[in-house]
């Protein structure tokens, strides 16, 4: 019999490079996968502009994942079941929330959601850098946190290039369809 665990985990448990990289890799992979999935969903729902933005985010995510893989080369990363990662809210911080998506969302809104994800990722890496006892982990975490901070800056800048959505952005005159 299991007591359902308290999900507010602490990052102070990450004191090995392998464990840290396992977290970082999963974070980047799930971010890339998440953005790709949302991009696909937007494309399927005929919102190509927003789809394109998410595909771009997915591409960056894959690049970062590749970087982490390179760092992990030669190391034996542990297997960590998805629910045992020390994410603060039980979910990988950089994974964009699909549940906040809307098929008619505007680019500025999409980028705001991506921004929130990048901030959460930054928060995770900073927290690890602060709490870890392992110097190399601290080094890597700080480095990744700085990269995320850079993404945050870029996103903020990117957002300014798009107008605010107008108040009726989600008005769709057509009723829902019945496909099956």
Partner 1 sequence: MTALPDKTALTAASFKSDYRPVWCPGCGHYSVLSSLTKALAELGLQREEVAVVSGIGCSSRIPAYTSVYGFHSVHGRALPVATGLKVSRPDLTVIVTGGDGDGYSIGGNHFLHACRRNVDLTYVVMDNQVYGMTKGQASPTTPADWDKSKLTPRGTGVSPFHPLAVALAAGANFIARCYAGDPNGTARVITEAVRHPGFSMVQVLSQCVTYQPGQKEWKTTVRKADVTTTSDVELAARWLMADDGLSTGILYLGNRPVYRPELRASASLEDLETAFRV
Stretch that binds partner 1, among 8-16, 19-27, 125-133, 160-168 (CB under 8 A): 19-27
Separation of alpha carbons 106 and 145, rounded Å: 28
Closest CB to partner 1 among residues 105, 152:
105
Selected binder of partner 1 within 9, 15, 45, 138 (CB under 8 A):
45
Closest CB to partner 1 among residues 92, 127:
92
Stretch that binds partner 1, among 55-63, 94-102, 119-127, 151-159 (CB under 8 A): 94-102
Concatenate the DSSP letters of all residues of 77-142 into one string.
PPP--GGGS--TTSS-TTS--GGG--TT--HHHHHHHHHHHHHHHHHHHHHHHHH---HHHHHHHH
Separation of alpha carbons 144 and 6, rounded Å: 27
Interacting residue ranges for partner 1, rule: CB under 8 A: 1-4, 7, 22, 25-26, 29, 33, 37-38, 40-45, 69, 76-83, 85, 87, 90-92, 98-103, 105, 175-180
């Amino acid at each position: 019999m299991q007591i359902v665990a308290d999900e507010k985990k602490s990052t102070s448990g990450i004191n090995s490079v392998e464990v840290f990289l396992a977290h970082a890799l999963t974070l980047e992979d799930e971010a890339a996968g998440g953005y790709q999935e949302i991009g696909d969903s937007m494309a399927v729902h005929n919102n190509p502009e927003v789809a394109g933005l998410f595909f771009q985010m997915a591409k960056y995510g894959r690049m970062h994942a590749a970087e982490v893989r390179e760092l992990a080369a030669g190391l034996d990363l542990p297997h960590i079941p998805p629910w045992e990662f020390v994410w603060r809210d039980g979910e990988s911080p950089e994974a964009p929330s699909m549940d906040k998506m809307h098929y008619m969302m505007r680019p500025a809104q999409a980028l705001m959601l991506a921004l929130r994800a990048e901030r959460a990722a930054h928060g995770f890496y900073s927290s690890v850098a602060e709490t870890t006892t392992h110097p190399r982990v601290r080094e890597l975490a700080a480095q990744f946190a700085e990269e995320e901070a850079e993404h945050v800056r870029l996103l903020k800048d990117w957002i300014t290039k798009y107008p605010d959505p107008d108040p009726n952005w989600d008005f769709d005159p057509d009723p829902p369809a019945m496909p099956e």
